[in-house]
């Protein structure tokens, strides 16, 4: 009897620990979703209060339906001319049908791509995150870009890897800053070749379709965009290292302290065989750390992946915390810095372990 009691007592701590981890994981997931609803409710509530659509799709649809002479002048559109292939297509419809079609097309794109790396449950729950709801309500490009990046990273064919990543890069270059690091770390020279060829073809084609003068207007007007961000305080809303240093009252260039760990994480993650979801999370987090301009709506695809991490019982508690901070959107900048460090450390540990196992004894 006494021996049985001692044995039961010895087994109790692991059970309590397992329950504690489960409660922590679920609590972090619930807290992240609830906190994320605050900015969503503020955004949607403002549109309902003012009886006006305040999302960015007003600009995208306006660019898509406006005369080319107005593009990059009247609208101050920062996206490169190659992005017009996407927005001009939806500009053929009236605003509300175009807005609905944009939302459906972007949702289907990210859902089809994400099924390669996360479960159906994680995908469904991911659509309830702050970033996903904000993107769908505001009509941003993030889901299209995320779908192309995921499709590229999940493709085993170097040709399609290069094509998908290049297609995303020519639409929103700052979302692909980690791509050269990843492809070089993989030594995927064929993918790099296909990416360069695809980008050149799309740029030349855009000049032929929309005119070389449109590229000239884009280049002339692009320098106005940073001033627009700083005068409106939008730069303070950046979700990466840049936003942290600006919120602390430091000069924006101080964000460069985050560049070395971002490069190291990308390199370590892609120079060895790792999970697709880990690769994508590392890719996006590193890109955000490398960029001086990333908004919360750019984290839609990352929020899907972080939801999957929160549903994974085998992850570390620190990984859950970082994922929850990202899903919340409100504390995403801290979560991205934390996640970059965690994934980099895990990749370095795995690299050392594999190197030790491969070395002769």
Q: What is the pLDDT of residue 80?
A: 93
Q: What is the pLDDT of residue 360?
A: 59
Residue 334 structural domain: 26-353
Q: Checking phi first, is residue 196 left (phi over 0); if not, alpha (psi -120 to 50) or beta?
A: alpha
Q: Answer whether residue 281 shows pLDDT above 60.
A: yes
Q: What one-character DSSP code corresponds to residue 142?
A: H
CA 88, chain centre distance (Å): 24
Q: What is the pLDDT of residue 361?
A: 55
CB-based contact 107:136 (threshold 8 Å): yes
Q: If you average pLDDT over residues 132-160, what whole number do you get?
A: 95
3-state SS record for 228-251: HHHHCCHHHHCCCHHHHHHHCCCC
CB-based contact 77:59 (threshold 8 Å): yes
| Residue 361 within a domain | no
pTM for this entry: 0.90
Residue for token pair 């196992």 = 357
User: Could you report the per-residue pLDDT of 205-264, keeping only the tens digit for each?
Assistant: 999 999 999 999 898 888 777 777 777 777 778 888 888 888 888 888 889 999 999 999
User: Could you report the per-residue pLDDT of 3-57, keeping only the tens digit for each?
Assistant: 444 444 444 454 456 788 999 999 999 999 999 988 888 888 888 777 778 788 9
| Residue 20 within a domain | no
Where does residue 93 rank: exposed (0-12), middle (13-18), buried (19+ CB within 10 A)? middle
Q: Give long-range contacts, CB 8 A cutoff, 24+ apart: 323-326.
A: 323/28, 323/32, 324/28, 324/29, 324/31, 324/32, 325/32, 326/299, 326/302
| Residue 233 within a domain | yes
Q: Answer whether residue 100 shows pLDDT above 90.
A: yes
| Residue 21 within a domain | no
Structure tokens at 202: 């799309």
* CA separation, residue 3 to residues 6, 10, 14, 206 (Å): 5, 11, 19, 79
CA 10, chain centre distance (Å): 45
Q: What is the pLDDT of residue 52?
A: 79
Q: What is the pLDDT of residue 261?
A: 95
- Residue 201 has a CB neighbour count (10 Å cut-off) of 13
| Residue 120 within a domain | yes
| Residue 6 within a domain | no
Out of 16-20, 117-121, 279-283, pick the least confident: 16-20
- Per-residue b or e along 6-33, where b marks 16 or more CB atoms closer than 10 Å to that residue's CB: eeeeeeeeeeeeeeeeeeebeebbeebb
Q: What is the pLDDT of residue 15?
A: 46
Number of domains in the chain: 1
User: Could you report the per-residue pLDDT of 177-207, keeping only the tens digit for each?
Assistant: 999 999 999 999 999 999 999 999 999 999 9
**Dihedral, 291, 285, 182, 341 alpha carbons, nearest 10:** 110
| Residue 16 within a domain | no
With a pLDDT cut of 70, the percent of the chain lying above it is 93
Q: What is the pLDDT of residue 230?
A: 76
Q: Answer whether residue 315 shows pLDDT above 70.
A: yes
As a whole number of angstroms, the distance between CA 290 and CA 287 comes to 5
| Residue 308 within a domain | yes
Q: If you average pLDDT over residues 299-318, what whole number do you get?
A: 95
């Amino acid at each position: 009897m006494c021996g049985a009691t001692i044995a039961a007592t010895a087994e109790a701590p692991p059970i309590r620990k397992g329950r504690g981890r489960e409660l922590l994981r679920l609590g972090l997931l619930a807290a992240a979703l609830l906190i994320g609803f605050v900015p969503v409710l503020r955004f949607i509530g403002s549109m309902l209060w003012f009886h006006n659509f305040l999302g960015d799709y007003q600009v995208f649809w306006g660019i898509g339906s406006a005369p080319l002479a107005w593009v990059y002048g009247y609208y101050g559109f920062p996206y490169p001319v190659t992005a017009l292939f996407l927005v001009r297509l939806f500009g053929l419809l009236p605003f509300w049908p175009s807005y609905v079609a944009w939302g459906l097309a972007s949702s289907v794109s990210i859902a089809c791509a994400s099924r390669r790396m996360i479960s159906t449950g994680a995908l469904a729950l991911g659509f309830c995150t702050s970033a996903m709801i904000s993107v769908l309500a505001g009509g941003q490009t993030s889901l299209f870009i995320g779908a192309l990046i995921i499709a590229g990273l999940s493709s085993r064919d170097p040709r399609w890897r290069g094509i998908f990543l290049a297609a995303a890069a020519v639409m929103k270059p700052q979302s692909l800053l980690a791509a050269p690091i990843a492809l070089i770390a993989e030594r995927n020279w064929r993918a790099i070749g296909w990416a360069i060829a695809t980008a050149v073809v799309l740029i030349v084609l855009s000049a032929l379709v929309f005119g070389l003068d449109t590229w000239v207007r884009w280049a002339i007007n692009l320098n106005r965009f940073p001033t627009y961000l700083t005068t409106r305080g939008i730069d303070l809303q950046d979700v990466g290292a840049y936003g942290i240093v600006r919120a602390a009252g430091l000069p924006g260039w101080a964000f460069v302290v985050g560049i070395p760990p971002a490069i190291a994480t990308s390199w370590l993650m892609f120079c060895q065989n790792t999970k697709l979801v880990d690769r994508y999370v590392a890719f996006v987090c590193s890109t955000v750390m490398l960029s001086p301009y990333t908004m919360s709506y750019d984290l839609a695809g990352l929020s899907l992946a972080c939801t999957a991490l929160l549903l994974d019982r085998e992850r570390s508690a620190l990984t859950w915390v970082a994922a929850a901070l990202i899903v919340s959107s409100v504390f995403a900048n801290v979560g991205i810095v934390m996640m970059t460090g965690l994934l980099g450390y895990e990749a370095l540990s795995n690299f050392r372990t594999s190197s030790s196992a491969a070395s002769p004894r």
